[in-house]
Amino acid sequence: MSSTAIERKDQKNAALVEMCSVRLGQTLFGVPISHILEIVGSARPQPVPLAPVYVGGLVHYRGDVLTTVSLRQLLGMAPKDGPQDILVLESKGGCFGLLVDSVGEVLTVSSADHEPNPSILDERRRALFAGAYKLKDRLLVMLDPERLDPMRLSEARAA
C-alpha cells in the first residue's frame, strides 16, 4: 500500500533522477549522471606539489590536463594507495575530475525520496552534500558537482 502511495506521489510532483552511485569507505554517494561526462577507470593522477590538499592531482584527459578533486581528502579520510576511479564532471567553471574509490551502478531515484542534509552533519559535510535519497535498504548521499568544483572549494577555503 505504501508503495502505491509513493507512486501516486511521484506522478504528481516528483521527477525521476538517474544517479551514478559511488562508493567511498562505508558511504554510498550519488552523482546525477546528467553532470557526468565520462568515467575513467583506474587512473593514477600526477600529484601537484603545493596544491591545496583536496586536489587529487592531474590526469590526462582527451588532450587536456584535468584537475581532480579527491573526495577522500575533502571528507578528511586517509588517501588511498593505488589507482582510483575518476568521474569527469562538468560544472559552470569547466571540467574537473572527482577521485573516488570505485564507481557502482546507475540507480534511478525519485525526488520524492530526497531529504535535505540532516542537522547533525558537521559543517564541512553540510557544505558538500546536497541531501540524501532514501533507498530501500540504505541511504544515497547526493553530491552536487557545483559544490565540488575546485574553484569553489578554494573560495570556500579562503573565506
Partner 1 sequence: MDELTREFLIESQEGLDRMERCLTELEERPQDAGLLGDIFRSVHTIKGTTGFLGFKRLEKLAHAGENLLGLLRDGKLTADGPMITGLLQLMDGLRSILKIIESEGTEGEGEDAALIARLEDMQIPTITYAAKTPRAKAAHAPPAHAGAAPPENSATTALTEIRPQTSLEHQLEPPAESTADKPRRAAPAAIASLEPETDPAKPRPQANSAAESSLRVDVTLLNRMMNLVGELVLTRNQVLQATANDPNLTLLSRRLDMVTADLRESVMKARMQPVSNIFSKMPRIVRDLSQSLGRRVRLQVEGQETELDKSLLEAIKDPLTHAVRNSLDHGIELPEVRQAAGKDPEGTLRLRAAQEGSHVLIEVSDDGKGVDVDKVRQKAIERGVIAQERAAHLAERELLQLVFLPGFSTAAAVTNVSGRGVGMDVVRTNVEKIGGKVEIDSRAGKGTTLRMRIPLTLAIIPALIVRSVGQSFALPQGALSELVHVPPSQAASAIEWIEDAPLYRLRGKLLPLVFLDRLLMPHSDRKNFAERDNFIAVLEADGRQFGLVVDGLADPEEIVVKPLSAVLKDIGLYSGATVLGNAELALILDPAAIAMKAGVNMHGEEAATNAEAALHATQATKNIEYLLVEVADRQAAVPLGDVLRIEQLPASRIEYIGYRPVLNFEGQLLPIEDSGGVLAAAQGNSQAQVIVVVCREGNRHVGIAVSHVLDVAAGGDLFEAGTTQRTSGVTLLKSRVTGVVDLGAVAALPALESGAPEWDRESESVA
Q: Which residues bind partner 1 (CB under 8 A)?
A: 46-52, 55, 58-60, 62-67, 93-94, 96, 150-151, 153-154
Closer residue to partner 1 in complex, CB, 30/97: 97
* Least distance (Å) between residue 155 CB and partner 1: 10
For 12-52, the three-class secondary structure string (H helix, E strand, C coil) is HHCCEEEEEEEEECCEEEEEEHHHEEEEEEEECCECCCCCC
Name the minimum Å distance from CB 51 to partner 1: 6
Please identify, using beta-carbon distances, which residue of 66 and 130 lies nearer to partner 1.
Answer: 66
Length of the chain (residues): 159
**CB closer to partner 1 out of 15 and 65:** 65
Give 8 or 62: the residue with its C-beta nearer to partner 1. 62
CB of 148 vs partner 1, minimal distance in Å: 12
CB 143 within 8 A of CB 149: no
Instruction: State the minimum distance, in angstroms, from the CB of residue 88 to partner 1.
Output: 13
